[in-house]
Structure 1
Amino acid sequence: MMWSLSVCLLSFLTLMILSLSAVVTGFIFIMYDLVYFIEWEVLSLNSGNIVMTFLFDWMSLIFMGFVLFISSLVIFYSDEYMAGDLSINRFIILVLMFVLSMMFLIISPNLISILLGWDGLGLVSYLLVIYYQNVKSFNAGMLTALSNRIGDVALLMAIAWMLNFGSWNYIFYLDCAKESLEMSIICSLVILAAMTKSAQIPFSSWLPAAMAAPTPVSALVHSSTLVTAGVYLLIRFNALLAGTSQGSFLLLFAGLTMFMAGLGANFEFDLKKIIALSTLSQLGLMMSILAMGFPKLAFFHLLTHALFKALLFMCAGAIIHNMKDSQDIRFMGGLTIQMPLTSMCFNLSNLALCGAPFLAGFYSKDLILEIVSLSYMNYFSFILYFFSTGLTVCYSLRLVYYSMSGDFNVSGLHPLQDEGWVMLRGMLPLSLMAVLGGVMLSWVLFPTPSMICLPLFLKTLALSVSILGGWVGYELSQSKLSYSFWTMRNQFLTSFFGSMWFLPFLSTYGVTLTPLSIGGKSLKSFDHGWSEYLGAQGLYQFFSLNASVTQKWQNNDLKTYLMSFILWVMILLFLTLL
């Protein structure tokens, strides 16, 4: 146990020092407008070179710093949360491998090295999702892995298409080959890969299923690592997106994802799944603003979202830990009295998620919605943006109402308290960043304030929609009639909205189960059947039969010679008679 404690503390201190160094270096790179492109020759054989390339600019350094900062606090938090686990060292090593894969992805300007980090994320996420070793975890892990494999194949095809350019360093070709057919095909493949990794429709079902992983992993995955990998990749490829048909396609699907996730969270009672669906909604927001041609805004929201979403998951983990592993929000209530510090952090992160003024989420979300109001935008996308913002506040207030207000809803006596001082120490630095992170990043990323002139109605629309959404969420939570109305009288609508528009069913049976069963049948009939009969096994039987015949000749058996002599004589007689 002492060794595991030292592993956690050592990992925490190392990652924290690295994160501070990366963030400070990133700020210096912004000030002096620096970009370092480093090539490391791994192996040179005759005229062939194997070269590893790294891209260090303000974006990669700041994102690395944020990932390392959040992962250091998650590892520190895990020391108490996973204290009952006998193999906590294996858990910490898996988390470190996860972070290392993300680092590879962030600093790679090369599709080959991106694939190294991309596949590393997919493999380690599978290992972490199945960490608890039960049937639910195995099913969730398989769904996660198979959904992400589609994106891996798309990335491999993009690598094959990049051969037309003579190098896999895509960063050199984005501007000069923007209009070429090859680059548009590569852009489409990269969008497909990013949609699978960032769980956009129709690949959304794996993200709530991945909640089978331990809560510290969820805090890391849903804030700054796995699900943001697709958004980050598209930020790098943003030169190919704006004003193209691929950008319009991405805008539509990202908007629908945002709307679908916000609607689904209002019908969910599992604490972790509500937060997972809120992540999905925010990913849709990032993807949609990215498709409109504002990569810097998408990156800004990516960073602020990482801060409060990691805090939200860590608070949820502390609540679940104290509730003796119960995740149903209907069993909670009155947590503000029994767990005041955790409740404070939880409410703070919820307000930041809703875009409450002057918290981290406000600076990015409000700016995004104002830019949307200012841009050329069709009514459908405009309604999706603002309706989804209202739904965010609606499910957030519903979550707070069920978990924080009223009386404790478990009949048994559970002594709840803020006893986890290690977990609280992991959460408090993120609470500070959830308050100050947005304004500090806005000073650094946008040193010249954006002057957005809009009519009063549009200027206050985001705030009005948020207040309206909060009021609707409170009324629906408070009214028992609405619950019985929705569940009993509209069962189809409830199951449709509450199950993410039947996407888990379609993904399981349509995308994974049917191809797997077809693959099993083809394996049985072709690989283990006809191809064996006509291939290796058939050849083996043919040659073994011939070998047995020739072996009899080589044994100098008199009977064999006599029989063959008689046979030859009969053949000759037959031929002479003819």
Structure 2
Amino acid sequence: MFNISICLISFMFLLGISMFSFIFSLKFLLLDYSVIIEWEILSLNSNSLVMSILMDWMSLMFMSFVLFISSMVIFYSKEYMEGDLNINRFILLVLMFVLSMMLLIISPNLISILLGWDGLGLVSYCLVIYYQNVKSYNAGMITALMNRIGDVTLLMAITWMLNFGSWNYIYYMEVMKNDYYMQVIGVLVMIAAMTKSAQIPFSSWLPAAMAAPTPVSALVHSSTLVTAGVYLLIRFNFILSDSMKLYLLIIGVLTMFMAGLGANYEFDLKKIIALSTLSQLGLMMSILALGAYKLAFFHLLTHAMFKALLFMCAGCVIHNLKDFQDIRFMGNLMIHMPLTCVCLNISNLALCGMPFLSGFYSKDLILELTSLMNVNLLIYILFFFSTGLTVCYTFRLCYYSITGDYNFFSLHSLSDKGWVMLKGMLVMLFFVIFSGCLLSWLIFPTPYMICLPLWMKMMTLLVSFIGVFIGYEISKFSITWFSKSLMFYNYSFFSGHMWFLPHISTFFINYFPLMLSYKLFKNFDQGWNEYFGGQGIYLNLKKNSLIFQFFQNNNMKIFLVLMVLWLMFLLLLLLF
């Protein structure tokens, strides 16, 4: 009974605050109004410890989205985690996770941002290792250690902020943006954001973090952990110089391309969706680097909605398939689980940018704005090619899971009877359909004027259709020569290995230092160094001192024995 009540209380509480926050964000947006609240925690002599809170339309709106998705995920967890003995601990961990994110969103101060940032890192580690097995521990370790790089750069940024007399970056950013110290802080914050949002070369932890329970994945990949880096850069976008933006653009586009390629070779349902998150994060970083920070924020919100629903649908499918995640075992799910498949299809189409779903309003605008901007041909091609890859792996996923034959146990209990999970998903479905147009009217009251030639205007639609065709063809010929010819690429550079990033971040970091330390241990500590070094010298001195001590203790006896031996020697000489 307590388990059910803690879920429901958390759900109602978060949903209430979410609605309250959204209403206030609308008021602040319409009035172009922002508030900084300073709360003095401690005053000692002339020093005061002050907690600052920034309330503007951006922080309030993002907060309402995070709280809404969290409330739906907790409601969904009530049934998904029903048999778990530690469900109270799970819900409390999720609440701590959300609280850390809230602290990060409303902070205009680098110290309180670090508290939220580190809170996200620590609680995410606890959630990734929730199912206690070797795979979870490895995934948790790579997640925690890779995020520590970002934590260190944020700490360094805090020390550089000492040059300005306060850690409230919001006061100095616009005025001091050309200052050398502020440029250094910008570089450090950018590296921190790249680790948290899993950009190249820090991408390998994101698919590994799929070891967490599916409700956590829905929360992490939609609105909390991975979006923290993007949100931080949106806040710091004023101090990013042109060279930093160029570097961020290249990294973002490459991440988007790499994740799109990797997802087309993956067979794990959750990893495909995780790589699609990585692709969308690359898209957000790229458009942010091009200077359209409001558009990056808009895509952040719309993406949060359909990605949360996508993971909830995947969780429902995995739950019904007795915890199997391989898409090759699925098939014909539309017959057995129609409502779940409808939700899955709609969220997939929103991800592809299907007209008039939420993803369309942000993705289409981003791609058209890129066409309008002064970017080189490589960036332009990669942008659109990555969009085509998104559609390709989405339709591949649909083909494997929803159509075709059912490839699992003949005796099964597939159904849409999980009403609690379905209620959460259907509420999310409403927002996946309508949030895009509502947000575009609110955030961009004046429409963008985008004037393009017809072929550039139709480019998005064209790459989407090509993506659908290729995705269908690859799936259809899954056993034929075409697939066999692709097997070479599957184990090569352009594959699901994410350009060897998991190998570099684990194998290179672990294997080589461990082998070097073993060789050093063998050759030095157990070799000549042992003989001539500390223990060797000690043992030699000890042995010699024992000999000298023996002589000193028995010197009279030794003298007599030597005298007898000498006399015998003389006697022998005389005789011969």
Q: Normalising to structure 1: TM-score of the pair?
A: 0.88
Q: Does 1:404 align with 2:418?
A: no
Q: Which amino acid aligns with 1:164?
A: N
Question: What is the rounded CA distance, in whole Å, between the counterparts of 1:210 and 1:59 in structure 2?
Answer: 28
2:91 & 2:514 partners in 1: Cα distance? Answer: 33
The alignment partner of 1:55 has SS state of strand
What is the CA–CA distance in structure 1 between the aligned matches of 2:98 and 2:41, rounded to whole Å?
A: 23
Letter in 2 for 1:364: S
C-alpha contact (below 8 Å) 1:496/1:502 kept by paired residues: no
* Separation of aligned partners in 2, 1:324 and 1:499: 27
Equivalence for 2:66: 67
- In structure 1, C-alpha distance between the alignment counterparts of 2:9 and 2:459, rounded to whole Å: 48
8 Å CA contact 2:490, 2:496 repeated in 1: no
Q: Deviations over 1:175-220 (max 9, x none)?
A: 1111111111110000000000000000000000000000000000
Q: Which residue of 2 aligns with 1:175?
A: 174
Aligned residue in 1 for 2:112 = 113
Which deviates more, 178-187 or 309-318? 178-187
Matched ranges for 1:407-556 at <5 A: 407-479=405-477, 480-481=479-480, 484-490=483-489, 492-493=491-492, 496-511=494-509, 514=512
Deviations 1:352-378 (A, max 9, x none): 000000000000000000100000001
Q: 2: distance between equivalents of 1:436 and 1:348? A: 12
CA contact (8 A) 1:119 1:152 kept: yes
> 5 Å matches for 1:6-17?
6-17=5-16
Following the alignment from structure 1 to structure 2, what is the Cα–Cα distance between the partners of residues 141 and 340?
Answer: 35
Equivalent position SS for 1:281: helix
1:339 pairs with 337, 344, 364, which one? 337
- In the alignment, what sits opposite 1:161? 160
Summarize the Cα distance change of 1:240–1:482 in structure 2 as closer, same or farther, 3 Å threshold.
farther
2:4 counterpart letter in structure 1:
L
SS at match of 1:80: helix
Q: Specify whether residues 455 and 113 from structure 1 end up closer, same or farther in structure 2 by C-alpha distance, changes over 3 A only.
A: same
Tell me which residue corresponds to 1:569.
none
CA contact (8 A) 2:157 2:185 kept: yes
* Aligned residue number for residue 253 of structure 1: 251
Corresponding letter in the other structure for 1:458: M
Distance 2:516 2:415 in 1: 53
- Report what 2:83 is aligned to: 84
Question: How far has the Cα of 1:522 moved from its partner?
Answer: 11
Whether the 8 Å contact between 2:256 and 2:278 is mirrored in structure 1 is yes
Alignment check: 8 A CA contact 2:261 2:494 kept: no
**Distance in 2 between the 1:50 and 1:355 partners?**
47
- 1:557 corresponds to: none
Give 2:11's aligned amino acid.
F
Q: Residue type of the partner of 1:94?
A: L
Q: How many residues align?
A: 526
Cα drift, residue 351 of structure 1: 0.2
* Contact 1:301/1:361 (<8 A) preserved: yes
Q: 1:322-370, CA deviations, whole angstroms, 9 ceiling, x for partnerless residues? A: 0011100000000000000000000000000000000000000000001
Distance 2:507 2:145 in 1: 12
Q: Deviations over 1:484-504 (max 9, x none)?
A: 4245444543x6411101110
2:141 paired residue number? 142
Question: In structure 2, the residue corresponding to 1:419 is in which secondary structure?
Answer: coil
Highest Rg: 1 or 2?
A: 2
Q: Distance in 2 between matches of 1:333 and 1:201?
A: 34
| CA separation of 1:383 and 1:339: change in aligned 2, threshold 3 A | same
- The correspondence of residues 90-489 of structure 1 with structure 2, limited to 5 A, is 90-241=89-240, 244-479=242-477, 480-481=479-480, 484-489=483-488
Q: Is the 8 A contact 1:476 1:482 kept in 2?
A: no
In structure 2, the CA distance between the partners of 1:416 and 1:483, relative to structure 1 (3 Å rule), is farther
Residues 513-570 of structure 1 show CA distances to partners (whole Å, capped at 9, x for unaligned) of: 5567889999999xxxxxxxxxxxxxxxxxxxxxxxxxxxxxxxxxxxxxxxxxxxxx
Q: Deviations over 1:221-265 (max 9, x none)?
A: 000000000000000000122x51111011001100000000000
SS at match of 2:379: helix
Cα distance change on mapping 1:430 and 1:148 into 2, 3 Å: same
Q: What CA distance in whole angstroms lies between the structure 2 residues aligned with 1:34 and 1:320? A: 45
Structure 2 CA distance for partners of 1:30 and 1:395, relative to 1, 3 Å: same
Deviation at 1:169, TM superposition (A): 0.6
Quote the Cα distance in structure 1 between the aligned partners of 2:168 and 2:514: 35
1:250/1:391 Cα in 2 relative to 1: closer, same or farther (>3 Å)?
same
Please report the TM-score for the alignment, with normalisation by the length of structure 2: 0.89
Cα distance in 2, alignment partners of residues 17 and 29 from structure 1: 19
Task: Report which stretch shifted further, 469-478 or 60-69.
Answer: 469-478
How big is the shift at 1:173? 1.0
2:92 & 2:514 partners in 1: Cα distance? 32
Percentage of pairs with the same residue: 67
Gaps of 5+ in 1: 526-578
- Matches of 1:413 and 1:81, distance apart in 2: 22
Q: Residues of 2 paired with 1:482 and 1:453: CA distance?
A: 44
Higher mean alpha-carbon deviation, 303-312 vs 377-386, is at 377-386
1:36 maps onto 2:32 in alignment: no
> What root-mean-square deviation, in Å, do the aligned CA atoms of Structure 1 and Structure 2 show?
2.1
* Counterparts of 2:314 and 2:61, CA distance in 1: 27
1:313, CA displacement in angstroms? 0.1
Partners of 2:343 and 2:52 in 1: how far apart?
A: 41
1:119-157 superposed Cα distances (whole Å, 9 cap, x missing partner): 000000000000000000000000000000000000000
Deviation, structure 1 residue 411: 4.0
The residue identity in structure 1 corresponding to 2:430 is L
Give the Å deviation of 1:415.
1.9
The gaps in structure 2 that reach 5 residues or longer are 524-576
Once residues 319 and 140 of structure 2 are traced to their aligned partners in structure 1, the CA distance between those partners, rounded to angstroms, is 23
Alpha-carbon separation, structure 2, partners of 1:154 and 1:304 = 29
SS of residue paired to 2:222: coil
User: What's the secondary structure of 2:183's corresponding residue?
Assistant: helix
Q: Tell me the distance in 2 between the aligned counterparts of 1:349 and 1:61.
A: 25
Q: Is 1:146–1:512's contact at 8 Å kept on the other side of the alignment?
A: no
Aligned residue for 2:390, secondary structure, equals: helix
Offset, 1:449: 1.4
- Secondary structure of the residue aligned to 1:498 is coil
Contact 1:143 1:512 survives alignment (8 Å): no
Q: Structure 1's 491 and 229: CA in aligned 2 closer, same or farther, altered over 3 A?
A: closer
Distance 1:482 1:226 in 2: 41
1:407, CA displacement in angstroms?
Answer: 1.3
